[in-house]
Copies of this chain bind each other. A is one copy, B any other.
Amino acid sequence: VKVSELGEFGLIDRLAEMADSLRDNRFPSWRNLIIGIGDDAAAWRCEGGTQLATVDSLVQGVHFPSAVDSWADLGWKSLAVNLSDIAAMGGLPRYALVALSLPGDTEADSVIEMYRGMLELAQPFGVAVVGGNISAAPQITITITVLGDSPAEDGLLTRDAARPGDRIAVTGSLGGAAAGLRLLETNPPLDPLSAGALRRAFWRPNPRVAEGRLLVGAGIKAAIDISDGLAADLGHICEASRVGARIDTSLVPLAAVALAAFGAAALEMAVTGGEDYELLFTGGDAAIRAVHQKAACPVTIIGDITSARGVLLQDGNGRTIEYQKRGWQHFAAA
């Protein structure tokens, strides 16, 4: 069976099973492990707290167009997706290692510009780029590992902690990144201001690190960052938690730039598009209200966790909505 037939998540399940089958508590690594493969980041106990680690790759021609418009944007995004994973665990990002592979005829200035964009994001978060690797390859791949931590007394935000009766909430607004990607692919006539805002929505997501810490402080237990798409990532939470979900799509906070540029199509972008890197989380009304009051960004309740399995999308009148594609999956027969 080909990888494309098994699918990204099918393959990950098989590999995770193999890795976990070697668990051996005579070794400190296994003894201290809290979360292995399958969440936004791995987590293990250390003296004084919890260590977090995550890795993500951006591949030219797969995650971003072959003709790179802004190398600084590419650098920003390649780090942002990892900081977002640490945020989705409720941790603080600390260190980054950058593995680059690229063709020898790449301009050195382009790589330096990419680094500049990456460091522009790293600096205010206090993330130190402390290592990496450079290798020749036929196309550009940027793989970044981010290490973070969390104080011992704090809980982690995991995918498997959603419970029936929880409300489902989301930070910020959705659909901007998908609209930005549509712009890059189709280049519709737009005023420069809107075009710039859309491009930024795709290329320069803001990892919700402060918001992740707020969630932990408010007692929220279940969260994920929206990388594959609202419906798909909610599906990941439901599977890990063995619950279901019902979303009222009329409550989904749409990115203003997506709405202005693409009108009614913005809703599908918001629900299935992904790459907005907002936090999707579940919990009681009071906890969500506490987050809402303290967060600098909007926090919106969009549905409920149910005991019936599956993710149900309904419009404001309770009618079921079906989209052809629920989110991003590598190797999925598009």
A residues bordering B, Cβ < 8 Å?
1-6, 8, 10-12, 14-15, 18-19, 22-24, 26-30, 33, 35-37, 41-42, 44, 46-49, 51, 53-57, 59, 61-63, 94-95, 97-99, 101-109, 111-112, 115-116, 119, 122-123, 126-139, 141, 143, 145, 147, 330-331
Cα A63 to Cα B5 with chains together (Å): 28
Question: A42 and B126 in contact (CB under 8 A), knowing A47-B47, A135-B63?
Answer: no
A44 and chain B: residue at smallest CB distance? B95
Q: Select which of B5, B37, B94, B104 is within 8 A of A4 by beta carbon.
A: B104
Do B57 and A119 have beta carbons less than 8 Å apart? Answer: no
Do A37 and B132 have beta carbons less than 8 Å apart? Answer: yes
Do B99 and A56 have beta carbons less than 8 Å apart? Answer: yes
Q: Select which of B37, B57, B101 is within 8 A of A131 by beta carbon.
A: B37
Cα A211 to Cα B115 with chains together (Å): 36
Q: Select which of B3, B28, B41 is within 8 A of A106 by beta carbon.
A: B3
Question: A19 and B331 in contact (CB under 8 A), knowing A53-B145, A147-B53?
Answer: no
Do A3 and B143 have beta carbons less than 8 Å apart? Answer: no
A8: B residues at CB distance < 8 A: 134
Cα A103 to Cα B5 with chains together (Å): 12
Q: How many identical chains are in the complex? A: 2
Do B138 and A3 have beta carbons less than 8 Å apart? Answer: no
A107: B residues at CB distance < 8 A: 1-3
Do B108 and A11 have beta carbons less than 8 Å apart? Answer: yes
Q: Select which of B18, B22, B130 is within 8 A of A33 by beta carbon.
A: B130
Do A59 and B24 have beta carbons less than 8 Å apart? Answer: no
Q: Select which of B5, B18, B59, B137 is within 8 A of A59 by beta carbon.
A: B137
Interface-central residue, A23, A54, A330, by most chain B CB under 10 Å: A330
A330: B residues at CB distance < 8 A: 104, 134-136
Do A105 and B2 have beta carbons less than 8 Å apart? Answer: yes
A115: B residues at CB distance < 8 A: 15, 18-19
- A210 to chain B minimum Cβ distance, whole angstroms, is 15
A103: B residues at CB distance < 8 A: 3
A145: B residues at CB distance < 8 A: 53, 55, 97, 99, 145
Do B106 and A2 have beta carbons less than 8 Å apart? Answer: yes
Q: Select which of B11, B19, B53 is within 8 A of A134 by beta carbon.
A: B11
A4: B residues at CB distance < 8 A: 104-105
Interface-central residue, A30, A46, A135, by most chain B CB under 10 Å: A135
- Given known contacts A4-B105, A48-B48, what 16 new A-B pairs fall within 8 Å (CB)? A3-B102, A3-B105, A11-B108, A12-B134, A15-B112, A24-B126, A29-B95, A33-B128, A44-B94, A46-B48, A55-B145, A56-B99, A57-B135, A136-B331, A138-B138, A143-B143
